[in-house]
Structure 1
Amino acid sequence: MAQPKIEALAIHPDRAAAEELDARDPLAFTRARFSVPEGVVYLDGNSLGALPTGVRAAVLDAVSRQWGQDLIGSWNGNGWWTLPERVGDRIGALVGAAPGQVICGDSTSVQLFQALTAAARLRPDRRVLLTDASNFPTDQYLADAVARLLGLEVRRVDPAGLKVGADVAVVALSAVDYRTGELWDVEAITRQAHAAGAVVVWDLCHAAGVLPVDLDGVGADAAVGCTYKYLNGGPGSPAWLYLPHRHQPVADLPLTGWMGRADPFGLAGAYEPAEGVARARIGTPPVLSMVAVEAALDVWDGVDPAAVRAKSLALGDLLITLADGLRTDGVTVVTPREGRRRGSHVSLRHEKAYELCQALIARGVVGDFRAPDLLRLGLAPLYLSYADVWDAMRALAEILATKEHEAPRFRRDQTAVVT
């Protein structure tokens, strides 16, 4: 059968140019540190990172030897007890936090609740909590929950026009918009909030592992992030909390579990917080997931974070250039084009974004969909190549040209929703 003529495939640079970029990529060596299925172009690392090759052996050892043979002795003998601080410090190194300020464990929701409540209690004379009106739903729900608990007023704002009044206790924002990939100026917003006397809580779920965040340098008051996106810790892997040294002695955390007590094995009836960031421990950490996260962080050995950011931007530039060739097919780029305003995913708008996403997945190009009309394509520099991006956009061009996405099997009422 003759192949259809597809004008949209006359896109530049061509694949040879993409291959040349791969040949000169200083991060090309890191792709071998991941298990990406053959024939798959994975553009959903902003939802769930790919499997690092070292994780399987680490988890197997934790199950078969540490748990299976060493049993309860593993808490000390195999370092289970120190996992939250140990993993926390390794994550801290990726987000500009000196040792002793990051703890890992529990879910993103729990860590957000901890951070928001403790931050608000630092300004007991103020009654307003600002959050992004387009923030991820959990961030908004928890802002409302903390407000009910503490008698605060939540105001939903646009970070682009942020104004912080004298009544604002906390500014709680995500560094990167989860829908559009827009990157906010973390340093400038933190400085503005501090000038008004407020404290700032940053959600770095879409930033940690791909952006050069400097939490200590910008003077952030608290931050949280997950480990299953660009940190590749696996589905449901635990989140982390940043609590700087200057706030640790006075931080009034709402969840006071026994592992965060000064002497947890004293088993006293009254709570006395531990010194340092250990006070942010709550209960028993999810050891198997923590072991996976610790092994996953090995992919950063010998990696220059500046090179990661540079490749992220270059991949995004290529994707946007190729997407511009699809304008006549109803595709528009939603993500800011300027590198300083862009995270590490690019969102494309199309009225049939859901169907396009499903058609791409059927071809082995895995992205995701956000209602009502966004096709979201994540760019994980450690395992994604320039040729991958070119191949993905070629597939999209072919689907649009042949109207493949209009097949009944790709309709939203026929297919499971992409999460």
Structure 2
Amino acid sequence: MTDFRERAVALDVADPLALWRHQFVIEPDVVAYLDGNSLGRLPLRTRERLTAFIRDEWGGRLIRGWSQGWADLPTQVGDEFGELVGAAPGQGVVGDSTTICIAKALHAAADLRPGRDELVVSADDFPTDRYIAEAVAREKSLTVRHVETTVDGTLDLEAVLGERTAVVLLSHVDYRTGTLQDLTAVTRQVHDAGAVMVWDLCHSLGVVPMDLDAAGVDLAVGCTYKYLNAGPGAPAYLYAAARHLPDLRQPLPGWWSASDLFAMADEYEPANDARRLLSGTPNVAGLLAVREGVAIAAEAGIEAARAKSTQLTSYCIDALDELVADGASLELVTPRDAARRGSQVTVRVPDARGVTADLIDGGVVPDFREPDLLRLGLAPLTTSFAELHEGLVVLQQVLRR
């Protein structure tokens, strides 16, 4: 791996995003943190912002904080997402968990297609997506159709789309393999079938450029604690195209989604904009952390993040090929074509759980998916090429043992 060490040094020297790494907490006892696709590192400015919020706003302003800015945070931060996802103002909010947002999106989407009775979801998608799809289908008297993944990682939508299809829920990036779907082309295909398209952006938000408005996406959900570094359990982003908002009904119409928040009216009247997607009192600390994460991603530039992500994953794949040539028992699962992958590299290894435990003992933090998938999540703003190299050296040692 000597040549790869030299290559890593050269790539770090030439990296236009290298200085961003110093604006995050870097753990002194970690050789390589390769799990940014599960939980991003803590930005220094977020730590400072939350400290100030606790001391000066919660501690100093108390209930007055709601009338001095807190109440507007869900829609303000939702609009700030626009630069990252290509969404005009008034179409996004931040306020609930990813799971709740997906449930809201599916309920609302199903109501947009009365008379259709099928909901499509990937057979291999993240458990939340599949569980929520099944639950919504039961409540809406829909039939769940599972789309299968072909050998090359594409989705066989032709086999499941039809005149009965009401809603399609898919992940932009496959959480297991890192395969990136063509958001625009798939959305068009779903619309051609007369269905509503709901995207899960959890593994692409912050590292893959997208334009939800231009692509004609109907609804989308994305978590903020991965590549946006908003912290564990931070609230998710929920997008609904402006053309749908007047007719959009969500299943949890709490007071925060009412047209007049403090009227306490006897009859529920939803807000006209994306605020109708909210439910209860938002998590202010979580929203402030999301705001910082979104601002960082926007300042660094989503195109620049994508460029470095491609370099990181390409370097990683080349190094893994070297390990295989050296006798390591690895099989690449992520597409070799950079245009078809997100910001992670997944390999198949015997006993992925045990390999992961050994890596953690060696100071390297990846993660795994049963039964045999080892995932290496590479965050463009915080993962250096030297760090990745050191992690791969430890992986080589573990596999030799």
Aligned partners of 1:130 and 1:155 also within 8 Å: yes
Residue 106 (1) aligns with residue 101 (2) = no
Report if the CA contact (8 A) 2:113-2:195 is conserved: yes
Cα displacement string for residues 7-36 of structure 1 (whole angstroms, at most 9, x for unaligned residues): xx46xx421111111101111121112111
Give runs of aligned pairs for residues 171-210 of structure 1, distance below 5 A. 171-210=168-207
Deviation at 1:59, TM superposition (A): 1.1
TM-score, length of structure 2 as denominator length: 0.95
Query: Which aligned pairs between 1:364-375 and structure 2 lie closer than 5 A?
Result: 364-375=363-374
Shift of 1:237: 0.5
Amino acid at match of 1:36: I
- Look up the match of 1:23: 13
- Checking the alignment, whether the CA contact within 8 Å between 1:261 and 1:272 is kept in structure 2 is yes
AA at the equivalent of 1:376: R
* Deviation sequence 1:332-382 (CA, Å, 0-9, x none): 111111011101111111112211111111122110011001110001000
Structure 2 counterpart of 1:38, which letter?
Answer: P
State the Cα deviation string for residues 85-127 of structure 1 (Å, max 9, x = none): 1111122321111111110011111100110010111001100
Partner residue in 1 for 2:318: 321
1:331 paired residue number? 330
Query: Offset at 1:247?
Result: 0.6
State the secondary structure of the residue aligned to 2:247: coil
Matches within 5 A, 1:9-408: 9=1, 13-40=3-30, 41-77=32-68, 79-158=69-148, 160-163=155-158, 164-327=161-324, 328-401=327-400, 403=401
Q: Which amino acid aligns with 1:43?
A: L
Secondary structure of 1:82's aligned partner = helix
* Separation in 1, partners of 2:4, 2:263: 66
Name stretches of at least 5 consecutive residues in structure 2 with no aligned partner. Answer: 150-154
Percent sequence identity is: 49
SS in 2 for 1:200: strand
CA contact (8 A) 1:147 1:153 kept: yes
Other structure's SS at 2:21 match? helix
DSSP-derived class of the 1:264 partner: coil
CA distance in structure 2 between the aligned counterparts of 1:171 and 1:301, rounded to whole angstroms:
29
SS in 1 for 2:67: helix
Q: Report the aligned-residue RMSD.
A: 1.2
Check the 8 A contact 1:54/1:296 in 2, yes or no.
no
- Cα contact 2:206–2:297 (8 A) shared by 1: no
Work out whether residues 96 and 213 of structure 1, in 8 Å CA contact, stay in contact via their aligned partners in 2: yes
**Count of residues paired in the alignment:** 391
Q: Give the unaligned 5+ runs of structure 1.
A: 1-8, 404-419
Cα deviation, residue 255, structure 1: 1.2
TM-score (norm 1): 0.91
Letter of the 2:309 partner, please give it: S
Question: Which deviations, in whole Å up to 9, do the C-alpha atoms of 1:253-284 show, x marking residues without a partner?
Answer: 11101111111211112111111111111110
Cα distance in 2 for partners of 1:397, 1:329 equals 7
Q: CA deviation at 1:39?
A: 4.6
Task: Give secondary structure in 2 for the equivalent of 1:265.
Answer: coil
Name which of structure 1's ranges 80-89 and 158-167 shifts more when overlaid on structure 2.
158-167
Structure 1 residue 301 displacement after superposition = 5.0
Cα distance, 1:300 vs structure 2? 2.6
Separation of aligned partners in 1, 2:185 and 2:297: 28
Post-superposition shift, 1:297?
Answer: 2.7
CA distance in 2, matches of 1:222, 1:301: 22
Q: Which amino acid aligns with 1:83?
A: L
